[in-house]
Structure 1
Amino acid sequence: MKTYLTTTDESGSILVISALCLLMFLTILGFAVDFGHFLLIKRNMQNAADAAALAAALEARTCNGTNVCAAMQSAAQNAVSENGLTASTTLTNCSGTVGSGMTLTLNNPPCAVGTDPNLNKTNYAEVILSQQVPTYFAGLMGLKSVLVKTRAEAGRGLGSGPCIYALNPTGPAITIIAGVIVRSRCAVVDESTSSDALTCVIGAFMYAPRISVSGGSSGLLCLASSTPQTYVPAPNPADPLAYLPAPSNAGAACGTSTSSPYSGSSSAVNVLLGGNVTFNPGVYCGGISITAALASNIKFNPGTYILKDGPGLLGITSGGLNITLNELSSITGNGVTFYNEGTQGSINVIEPVSGGSLLSLSNVSLSAPTSGTYAGILFFQAHGSTSTGVFIANLINNSKLEGAIYLPDADVSYGVSALSSSYNILVAKDIHLNVAIASAFGNDYSSLAGGSPLNGNNVFLVQ
């Protein structure tokens, strides 16, 4: 009988299993390291994309209607660099080939996502950062790099905030005279901290969604259905249009034209008689004075008009813009901004009392640009100029003054009825709402590519 000896030795199997487990553990650890590395890079790229989108949106207003202008590209590239990254390739408006390094794609308006609710809206900027990131351990498995991509979108709000600002921190900043009715579809801000910051007389009425007063109000039966909120902190910034720069040609030499069509002048331009007169943008030393007689047809072509002090009639220094409305006159100007740089004249649009009953036969249509630096700005008086502005007219028959009246250091007397204006903005040191007239302020900014100019430099991230 034979005897057999059997042994069971599993040490080799355990070694193999341990090795396989260790390899699996190292593989998982390697992928975890790679994944963490990708997340870190993606977070840094997202921060840079957010900053680039905000910076680009901030510059959109300065592009004068050009999509992805040089200023937007420079702002986005600088924002990426300031976040410690370098974009070797820059693409625009969803076109071009991605580079081998980090690629910055800047779109204005957004175009990368077909379901984006802001698609084709020019007041939004879209930034996409992408790059191939090399792997550490995954490369051993044949995965040499992974595409990391981030996206951000920023824009300016269209907003429906206040459209009337009185900037004077003392005294009665807003005064409403008896017989005046003011209806505003947007809020009113009175920044005076005086007890009589908002002053009105019996029979004056103001209707607005909200009336915020930093001080108190005085008067009797003057606000009908809209009760002011008094002793409210002033907004920050106090002046919502303070960001606006002076026009680049504000310091340019006077124009030389002496007859229509004008393109600037070295002395005051006075239109006293009827006929056809055309104005082009330029520097007008001595200002522009229009006393439109019967059957006048006056046209302002689009652009910025610089108004400076200069020699006027009889050698007396004059300046500013003075428009006196008379019967059967037509004064038009679409896409215009009047910038008053001088101190000897202000911006005045006045209807003579004697002509009020016949003004329905006249047409006055002035509107601000819809894009560019001065989008929504119709009248702009330089900081430091205290020349009082007067806007008094009963504009009917499809007439309008559409755009902002911005006289930051001056008083404005206002009493304009212009039923066809989509939006009106009034920002001045002191505001006097007077003359027995019904004034209306609108807040439909849909015609402006960047929304209301009162949004200023406020941008926000959307995605």
Structure 2
Amino acid sequence: MKRYRGDAGQALLLMAFSMVVLCGFVGLGIDIGYLRYMQRQMQAATDSAALAGAAELGYGDVTSAAEADAATNGFTDGENGTTITVNNPPLSGPYQGNANYVEVLISQEEPTFFMKLLGVNSRMVSTRAVAYSGVSGGCIYALNPTQSSAFVVNGNSNLTAQCGILDNSSNSTAALVQNGSGCLSAKYIGVVGQFKNNSSCTPSPMPVSGIAGFSDPLAYLQPPTVGPCTYPSGVSISGGTQTLYPGVYCGGISISGGSTDVTFSQGTYIINGGGMNIGGGANVHGNGVTFYITGTSSSFKGVSITGGTNSQLIAPSSGTYASILFFQDRSISSSSSAANSNIAGGAGTDIQGTLYFPTTNLTYAGSSTDSLYTILIANTVTISNTTVINDSYQALPNGSSPVHSAILAE
């Protein structure tokens, strides 16, 4: 068969053309792969931002929270061609106009590489997510990540909780313990580590071990500013009827005596050193009050309410510290027993609100059924006597617990 030089030349041209087309497809594939990768990264950041915004519903700045979260994931509004839009309520989709949902949209101009040969220098990548704030069913949280007996029901104590109990300790032998004839009943019970039952009573339901670890559910809550002392030497009351007012109590508050009756006016009380001690049968009353417990490493003391007092202390129902009755300074450690708190009122004691002691230990007993709700959040939690925990939050913003779980909807 006779061959011609022209055939060889055509073959070379065809091969060259094929290589150009093949390289073009390879380049297009690389660009598309990169754009899809960036979209996945952006979608993860958008989901996270929507969850952060939803977590602030009713309690903070939704837009700032969402934008700050997106920034931690590498997408900052106004930088590198990034646009972040936060809508509450959403402006599109099935939850349009529903103020219980947060919509986040992120878009960014992404460069191309091989597509530039075709005159396409960049492509706009956009993502969207919608989240809402679902109410957490928990009301007792032990935060210590490793402590043995991080949550304990002691002696002949009976705890009845209309909500869930969560223990963050990963201790492999006894993270959550039931002792003596103590008996535990709750909506659900979860522990990162292991449950140990030293009691004749079987808890209801049985605790679920091996749950995922969790962080402080009120970590978002900002502490009040501690100003100069309103009461430089604190306050000590024994006998008589008195009214106290919001301010900075340097040296603490001590109230005792069966004939003592003290009313706390509405507002925020800052206890700077010395702690808060109510005992000896004294009666105290306060509606719409928050106590911030702080001090130095040497002056800090916890809260003690003992001695059969018949008291009514009720947290605010609105504002920054809605539901917060006691708020312990997070910079304090539980290195000394004086830093820990013991709250155990009589049958007529109404402790309504959140007892927040994130880095110190709390011993609690409250048999009154008058409290609409009580939330215990502490480094460790010990139940020392018959206790009833209710979970009726209708007086709070959105009629829900301050402990929320943000959930993706779209």
Smaller-chain TM-score bracket: 0.5 to 0.7
Kindly indicate whether residue 71 of structure 2 is the aligned counterpart of residue 115 of structure 1: no
Partner of 1:297: 263
Partner of 1:340: 294
| Structure 1 residues 79 and 226, CA gap change in structure 2 (3 angstroms) | closer
Partner of 1:412: 363
Show CA shifts across 1:109-138 (max 9, x none): 34222631793127x452342769999899
Are 2:174 and 2:195, in contact at CA under 8 Å, matched by a contact in 1?
yes
Q: Give distance in 1, aligned partners of 2:369 and 2:199.
A: 27
Partner of 1:378: 326
Partner of 1:424: 375
Shift of 1:144: 12
- Structure number, greater radius of gyration: 1
- SS of residue in 2 equivalent to 1:419: coil
TM-score, normalised relative to structure 2: 0.68
| Structure 1 residues 185 and 432, CA gap change in structure 2 (3 angstroms) | closer
Are 2:50 and 2:129, in contact at CA under 8 Å, matched by a contact in 1?
no
Q: Comparing 377-386 with 425-434, which one deviates more in the overlay?
A: 377-386
- SS of residue in 2 equivalent to 1:378: strand
Shift of 1:207: 1.3
Show CA shifts across 1:51-106 (max 9, x none): 1452464376499633423x64344345354xxxx7548xxxxxxxxxxx956243
Show CA shifts across 1:370-408 (max 9, x none): 658x975733253335433121124659x4421143253
Q: Number of residue pairs matched?
A: 375
Equivalent of residue 105 in structure 2, options 127, 149, 172: 127
Shift of 1:320: 1.0
- SS of residue in 1 equivalent to 2:359: strand
Kindly indicate whether residue 294 of structure 2 is the aligned counterpart of residue 321 of structure 1: no
Q: Give distance in 2, aligned partners of 1:243 and 1:76.
A: 18
| Structure 2 letter corresponding to 1:247 | P
| Structure 1 residues 46 and 155, CA gap change in structure 2 (3 angstroms) | farther
Q: Which runs of 5+ in 2 are unaligned?
A: 1-20
| Structure 1 residues 164 and 243, CA gap change in structure 2 (3 angstroms) | closer
Are 1:405 and 1:426, in contact at CA under 8 Å, matched by a contact in 2?
yes
Q: Give distance in 2, aligned partners of 1:322 and 1:412.
A: 14
- SS of residue in 1 equivalent to 2:292: strand
Q: Give distance in 2, aligned partners of 1:245 and 1:289.
A: 27
Q: Give distance in 2, aligned partners of 1:324 and 1:275.
A: 16
**Greater fraction of residues in strand:** 2
| Structure 1 letter corresponding to 2:328 | F
Q: Give distance in 2, aligned partners of 1:74 and 1:183.
A: 36
Are 1:323 and 1:349, in contact at CA under 8 Å, matched by a contact in 2?
yes
Kindly indicate whether residue 28 of structure 2 is the aligned counterpart of residue 58 of structure 1: no
- SS of residue in 2 equivalent to 1:177: coil
User: In the TM superposition, what are the counterparts of 1:49-448 in structure 2 within 5 Å?
Assistant: 49-55=43-49, 57-58=51-52, 61=56, 65-69=60-64, 72-77=66-71, 79-81=73-75, 88=78, 102=81, 104-107=83-86, 109-113=88-92, 115-116=94-95, 119-121=98-100, 124=102, 126-129=104-107, 149-154=126-131, 157-161=134-138, 163-165=140-142, 167=144, 169-170=147-148, 173-178=151-156, 180-189=158-167, 191=169, 193-194=172-173, 198-202=177-181, 204-212=182-190, 214-220=194-200, 222-223=201-202, 226=204, 228-229=206-207, 232-233=209-210, 235-237=212-214, 240-241=216-217, 243=219, 247=223, 249=225, 255-257=228-230, 265-272=231-238, 273-280=240-247, 283-291=248-256, 296-301=262-267, 303=268, 305-309=269-273, 319-324=274-279, 330-334=285-289, 336-342=290-296, 344-350=300-306, 352-353=307-308, 359=310, 363-367=312-316, 378-380=326-328, 382-385=332-335, 386-387=337-338, 388-394=340-346, 399-434=350-385, 437-442=386-391, 447=396
Percent same amino acid among aligned pairs? 15
Show CA shifts across 1:332-381 (max 9, x none): 225x352334555211233x43x6xxx4xx64322486658x97573325
- SS of residue in 1 equivalent to 2:88: coil
| Structure 1 residues 131 and 443, CA gap change in structure 2 (3 angstroms) | farther
Partner of 1:4: none
Shift of 1:270: 2.8
Q: Comparing 410-419 with 374-383, which one deviates more in the overlay?
A: 374-383
| Structure 2 letter corresponding to 1:216 | K
Are 2:362 and 2:378, in contact at CA under 8 Å, matched by a contact in 1?
no
- SS of residue in 2 equivalent to 1:216: strand
Q: Which runs of 5+ in 1 are unaligned?
A: 1-25, 90-100, 258-264, 310-318
- SS of residue in 2 equivalent to 1:417: coil
| Structure 1 residues 329 and 217, CA gap change in structure 2 (3 angstroms) | closer
Q: Give distance in 2, aligned partners of 1:166 and 1:103.
A: 37
